Amino acid sequence: MQIKDTAAIVTGGASGLGAATAARLAAGGAKVFAFDLPASIEGAPQVDGVEYVAVDVTDPEQVQAAVDTAAGAGVPLRTVVNCAGIGPSTRILGKKGPHDLALYAKVIQVNLVGSFNVLTLAAEKIAATEGDEHGQRGVIINTASIAAYDGQVGQAAYSSSKGGIVGLTLPAARDLAQYGIRVMTIAPGIVETPMLATVSEEFRESLAKGVPFPQRLARPDEYAQLAQSIIEHDYLNGEVIRMDGSLRMAPR
């Protein structure tokens, strides 16, 4: 599927994986709508071809309005890449007592429900577009994590949310096949994103040493490259791709 002269939605598009993906799609000729929270958008770099839209992905009305904006860009909406997410770490039983239920629910709401919300509302708009010669109309890429498979101590909420993304992939692809919409998921390993900006260089080096090869952290632009490859490869559908250097995380 071509990227040029189409519209794309990237959630979490103001930083990290989302920002790299938004920039790459814009460089490929797409009109990109980067959804993110207002506070994140304030410090985001201005990129040609990227329009920032203040959106809370857990709010159906905000998402609907933002999707309507992307669908009305004058070019067909073809792509959605869901990168928005949060990753707090809390043990089920910690020094302060049991895991806070509200925090668990929030992680599920942002990471899983938010992705489903955007996927569903955007799919309706994509399905209304004219398909190409093969009947293809679009592709939706969600972001899981290797924590969906190898969740560590303190990742009960995060792993649950990302496991949900993995489980959503195939049924969503099957549901949307009749509309010519593919659904894929990327499960990154440890990526050099703003979430790691607060840790020491020594700690980052120790994380990198745990990766079999290449023995370094992944880069956001590598995620963006993979997303572009998925968009352009019309026979990829209903699958999760691990981008982790063959890392299998230890319990802690």
pLDDT of 172: 98
Q: Is 235 a catalytic residue?
A: no
pLDDT attached to residue 43: 85
Pairing of strands 138-143, 77-82: parallel
pLDDT value for 250: 86
pLDDT single digits (tens) 59-75? 999 999 999 999 999 99
Please report whether residue 250 resides in a domain.
no
Here the CATH number for the domain that contains residue 214 is 3.40.50.720
144, part of any domain: yes
Q: Give the residue from 55, 21, 59, 24 showing the smallest Cα distance to 40.
A: 55
Residue 197 has a pLDDT of 65
**pLDDT value of residue 195:** 67
pTM of the predicted structure, to 2 decimals: 0.95
Q: How far apart are CA 19 and CA 46, in angstroms?
A: 10
> Would you say residue 92 lies in a domain?
yes
What are 137-170's pLDDT values in tens digits? 999 999 999 999 999 999 999 999 999 999 999 9
Q: What is the pLDDT of residue 199?
A: 62
Check residue 160 and give its pLDDT: 98
CB-CB contact of 3 with 232 (8 Å): yes
Catalytic residue among 52, 158, 223, 235: 158
Total count of domains within the chain? 1
* Residues of the chain under the 70 pLDDT cut: 195, 197-200
Q: What domain range includes position 122?
A: 7-243
What pLDDT was estimated at residue 137?
Answer: 98
Inside any domain, residue 74: yes
pLDDT at position 249 is 86
Residue 2 falls inside a structural domain: no
Q: Is residue 251 part of a domain?
A: no
